[in-house]
Copies of this chain bind each other. A is one copy, B any other.
Amino acid sequence: MSSALNAKELLIRAVECDQVGRILEAQTLYTEGIGQLMQFVNGEPDEAKRKGFLTRIKEYMDRADAIKARINGKLMLGEVVSHVSIDENDTGFDYDQLFGKYMDDKTVEIMLEEPYMTQNYQYQNLIRFLELAATNCPNLKYFRLITKEYKDAKNPDQQETNLGQIKGDLERRNVTVYIKYEDSLHDRKIYLSNGYIIKIGRGLHFYKPANPMYSIGLVNYKFRKCLQTDVDIWRNSSAAS
């Protein structure tokens, strides 16, 4: 019975999120709720009850499909609001200076597509990005990270442990976190629920290492040398929530 109850709770929360425009979180909740309901149905011996459940599942699936269409609509690129070309060895670019002003109190959900999360500096870049969100987006409720799964040869749990730390930390700050692994992911993208989409050719990882290690730029990335990349910021055509 607990599985059905849990499914019910998830689906009620999905509808609530949907109603207030938190569509990324609603999508996650519909998917999880439907998955749990499915499991429950499979164990239900009563044919009539099973049919009833299947009807409900079909309804929720339709809602989830509708949400998916809305998300895809929001991910459509609209007008370009900013374009910056960063040349090899340029300095002066940290995340705040590049796109901090687009992360604001209307940003309730963020989706980050960033294929590579495998090295210490990449987790640190993710933390830098999330610290900017924690500073600029007081109403953030949901963060979805899409990345490639990675099993380190010496420490196969490394990615799960590190991302688990980050997830736990954000959830203590009342931000729901959903991590999705997609092995075919290539493009980098940051979607903000206020209607802005940030596309950086190299994603968050466009900095060269500090050289030597203890030098100006170790911490403050405005002093760090960059790799060549382009930063395009779009406002989506279906407008902000």
Give A residues with C-beta under 8 Å from B.
123-124, 126-128, 130-131, 134-135, 162-163, 165-166, 168-170, 173, 212-220, 222-223
Contact = CB atoms under 8 A, between A and B. Distances in A.
Nearest to A175: B216
A131 B169 CA distance: 28
Quick one: which of A127, A130, A170 has the most chain B CB within 10 A? Answer: A127
A218 B163 CA distance: 14
Main secondary structure of the interface of A (DSSP, over half): helix
Quick one: which of A170, A214, A218 has the most chain B CB within 10 A? Answer: A214
Given A134-B223, A220-B135, A223-B134, A215 B166 contact: yes
Given A123-B214, A214-B123, A219 B165 contact: no
A177 B219 CA distance: 20
B162 A130 contact: no
A135 to B, nearest CB: 7
A216 B165 contact: no
Contact of A214 (B134, B169, B217, B220): B169
B169 A215 contact: yes
26 contacts: A123-B214, A124-B218, A126-B214, A127-B214, A127-B215, A127-B216, A127-B218, A127-B219, A128-B219, A128-B220, A130-B216, A131-B218, A131-B223, A135-B222, A162-B214, A163-B214, A165-B212, A165-B213, A166-B214, A166-B215, A168-B212, A169-B212, A169-B214, A169-B215, A169-B216, A173-B216
